[in-house]
A and B are shown apart, each in its own frame.
Chain A
Amino acid sequence: GAVVSQHPSWVICKSGTSVKIECRSLDFQATTMFWYRQFPKQSLMLMATSNEGSKATYEQGVEKDKFLINHASLTLSTLTVTSAHPEDSSFYICSARLQFPYEQYFGPGTRLTVT
């Protein structure tokens, strides 16, 4: 299957600071990328969908000014958590979709801890 990487795999930051997470599709071009959030022992919740060169579409309840998404190229998307707070601590997972036929591959995830 296709490979998606994420960096960093884990990060600890202080409350009030910003953190950037990178997501790359290594062996394919992804016109659409997704960002998910997963709390312990829970399912994945979609935060936003981004298409290369366009503004991201955020799910209801997700603050677009807090979670900045940039999809600058067909292989790179970034998520920036701005002014992080302890409640933002979570497992963030990116995903990239083949243009057709819908197969979607996930990165290894980034564990964010805000102290």
Chain B
Amino acid sequence: GENVEQHPSTLSVQEGDSAVIKCTYSDSASNYFPWYKQELGKGPQLIIDIRSNVGEKKDQRIAVTLNKTAKHFSLHITETQPEDSAVYFCAPFGNEKLTFGTGTRLTIIP
């Protein structure tokens, strides 16, 4: 099955600074790469995704970059705000299902 690793496991950044989370996967057949944000006690929320034929996608302060050759994709959050504090999961899609990474706890320091 798909082996997914996410780094770092925890990340603290000053408000206004940028945060980057990296996800590596093993299945070269994976073709859809979403990022989810999960707040305490809630279900994951899709925040951005990218497909295998695109290298980068941006939505306001959030961007995702994909390197299919190296089998990794990254989440970039700029101008971080306190409400960005949450756990973030990558979940590459392959073999008809999402496989979730181990998660990154992001803390924004006011």
Contacts and interface: CB of A to CB of B under 8 A. Distances in A.
| Top-7 shortest CB links A-B | A106-B43, A102-B32, A109-B43, A44-B100, A43-B100, A106-B44, A108-B43
A95 B98 CA distance: 11
B42 interface: yes
A106 B45 CA distance: 7
Nearest to B103: A43
A49 B43 contact: no
A107 B36 CA distance: 13
Size range of the interface on B?
A: 20 to 34
Given A43-B103, A49-B97, A101-B51, A1 B43 contact: no
Given A102-B32, A109-B43, A111-B41, 8 more contacts: A43-B89, A46-B97, A46-B98, A49-B97, A93-B44, A102-B93, A104-B46, A108-B42
Given A93-B43, A93-B44, A43 B102 contact: yes
B98 A104 contact: yes
